[in-house]
Amino acid sequence: MNRRINTVSLHAAGGAAEQPDTYTDRIVKFIPSEVVAGWLAITSAIKAAAQPPSETVIWVIFVVGVFFAAAWTWRASSEAGKHPPYIQTAVSTVAFFVWAYATGGGAPQWPGTIYQPLTATLLLVGFSLLSGLVTKP
């Protein structure tokens, strides 16, 4: 599956028509699943560690994840001859933030009372459902 979100029907010369992505396709393509999986693996290892790293190290890992989500989405959804994927990259980067927050992060969890499981769940579901409505390329 191509990672670039296609919002218009394109007809290639001599080829088959490329159909626009459906609502569900857009939701799937907006989630940087490879980066989220990496975040989950790293935070699981941190939680299991006998000596977890400091909160500062966890924040550095999170910031690297944000930048990696943007870079990965840009690379995976860029195509020669088409406009740059600014909106898809922005939405996917926010999606990483939402998924990282919703999964609770490493130990210690988000500082203070920022992390609330109910809020995290509602944010994840709401963002995921709303992101599929983004149709501008």
Query: Amino acid identity of 116?
Result: Q
pLDDT tens-place string over residues 26-75 = 999 999 999 999 999 988 888 788 887 777 888 888 899 999 999 999 99
Q: Give the pLDDT band (50/70/90) at residue 80.
A: confident
What does pLDDT average to over the chain?
85
Average of pLDDT values for 90-109?
A: 82
> Could you tell me if residue 1 is inside a domain?
no
Instruction: Indicate whether 136 belongs to any domain.
Output: no
Residue 90, classified by CB atoms within 10 Å of its CB into exposed (0-12), middle (13-18) or buried (19+), is: middle
pTM to 2 decimal places? 0.85
Q: Does residue 3 lie within any of the structural domains?
A: no
How many Å apart are CA 93 and CA 2, to the nearest integer? 18
Residue 72's domain comprises 10-131
Beta-carbon contacts of 95 under 8 Å, excluding residues fewer than 6 positions away, are 30, 31, 32, 69, 127, 128, 131
pLDDT, tens digit, 9 for 90 and up, residues 16-35 = 667 888 999 999 999 999 99
User: Does 56 map to a domain?
Assistant: yes
Task: Classify residue 123: in a domain, yes or no.
Answer: yes
